[in-house]
């Protein structure tokens, strides 16, 4: 994806704001985060022209100092527009915590996107995603790849996408960290590799019909799937936020989400 992907995400968030009143507060907050990430990407494009790529690993290439400089703006957004719990937690982050953000972001990367608490994870993912997406765009996908973790950064998938191909759709997984998309077999659980279709139920709401819960009755995990053959106007990473009602339904029915989204759902 290019810088224009952030424009597309923001347009979709604003469109869904008008159509989904039940999630309008969540989407409005997400739109503020997208605007921040869009501004970061613009600066990254300018900075990257003069940065040497070298042979460093994916995570070594991510500009932690650059990301940490945006912490004050992110905390301000979270306190003004975020859910009450997140607003309260970010408000309690003192100046020492802010000054330690470069170290905390580096630790987040060393632990492969695992943080000590939900707030630290939220801060790290928001601020490192633009860096990760840019770096991922420079790296080719392997010609043959069958694993259920990202082939570029080894992070978990956030969601599945069905893209039109021939008379049907081909399934892809989308990375929760760098947005890399890769092809993945359709009738298989990406978590435990269950292949019995009778143990891989799919559930969808009446609206939007193109969004489904893909569950596994063997390991009880699930992720959401976005069928672009039904609705080609979706932007899956945005529609994933807007379809939180399906997450609540899945949890109520005993499933757990393989990878929580940026907002912790």
Residue 245 above 50 pLDDT?
yes
Predicted confidence band of residue 49 (pLDDT cuts 50, 70, 90): low
147-165 confidence digits (pLDDT tens):
999 999 999 999 999 999 8
Residue 53 above 80 pLDDT?
no
pLDDT for the residue 1:
42
DSSP 109-139: HHTTS--SSHHHHHHHHHHHHHHHHHHHHTS
pLDDT for the residue 151:
97
Task: Tell me the pLDDT of the chain averaged across its residues.
Answer: 89
**Alpha-carbon separation of residue 169 from 149, 223, 229, 230, 231 (angstroms):** 21, 18, 7, 10, 12
Task: Of 50-59, 205-214, 226-235, give the range with the top mean pLDDT.
Answer: 226-235
Predicted confidence band of residue 2 (pLDDT cuts 50, 70, 90): very low
Residue 226 above 80 pLDDT?
yes
Residues 43-67, mean pLDDT to the nearest whole number: 80
Residue 51 above 50 pLDDT?
yes
**Which residue ranges make up each domain of the chain?**
4-137, 157-257
Residue 35 above 90 pLDDT?
yes
pTM for the full predicted model: 0.91
Residue 73 above 90 pLDDT?
yes
pLDDT for the residue 184:
96
Predicted confidence band of residue 94 (pLDDT cuts 50, 70, 90): low
Q: Are 158 and 223 in contact (CB under 8 A)?
A: yes
CB half-sphere exposure, 60, CA atoms < 13 A: 6
Q: Are 263 and 228 in contact (CB under 8 A)?
A: no
Helices 24-48 and 4-19, packing angle to 10 deg? 170
pLDDT for the residue 95:
63
Residue 188 above 80 pLDDT?
yes
pLDDT for the residue 121:
86
């Amino acid at each position: 994806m290019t810088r224009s992907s952030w424009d597309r995400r923001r347009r979709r968030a604003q469109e869904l704001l008008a159509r989904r009143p039940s999630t309008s507060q969540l989407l409005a907050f997400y739109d503020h985060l997208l605007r921040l990430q869009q501004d970061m990407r613009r600066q990254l494009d300018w900075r990257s022209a003069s940065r040497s790529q070298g042979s460093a690993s994916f995570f070594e290439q991510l500009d932690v100092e650059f990301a940490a400089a945006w912490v004050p703006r992110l905390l301000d957004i979270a306190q003004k527009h975020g859910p009450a719990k997140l607003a309260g937690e970010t408000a309690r982050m003192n100046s020492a915590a802010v000054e330690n953000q470069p170290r905390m972001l580096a630790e987040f990367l060393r632990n492969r996107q695992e943080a000590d608490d939900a707030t630290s994870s939220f801060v790290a993912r928001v601020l490192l995603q633009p860096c990760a997406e840019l770096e991922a765009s420079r790296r080719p996908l392997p010609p043959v790849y069958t694993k259920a973790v990202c082939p570029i950064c080894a992070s978990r998938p956030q969601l599945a996408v069905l893209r039109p191909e021939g008379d049907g759709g081909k399934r892809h997984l989308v990375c929760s960290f760098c947005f890399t998309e890769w092809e993945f077999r359709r009738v298989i659980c990406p978590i435990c590799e269950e292949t019995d279709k009778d143990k891989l139920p799919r559930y969808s709401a009446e609206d939007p019909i193109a969004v489904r819960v893909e569950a596994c009755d063997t390991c009880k995990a699930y992720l959401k799937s976005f069928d672009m053959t039904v609705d080609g106007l979706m932007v899956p990473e945005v529609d994933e936020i807007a379809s939180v009602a399906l997450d609540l339904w899945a949890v109520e029915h005993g499933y757990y989400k393989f990878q929580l989204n940026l907002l912790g759902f």
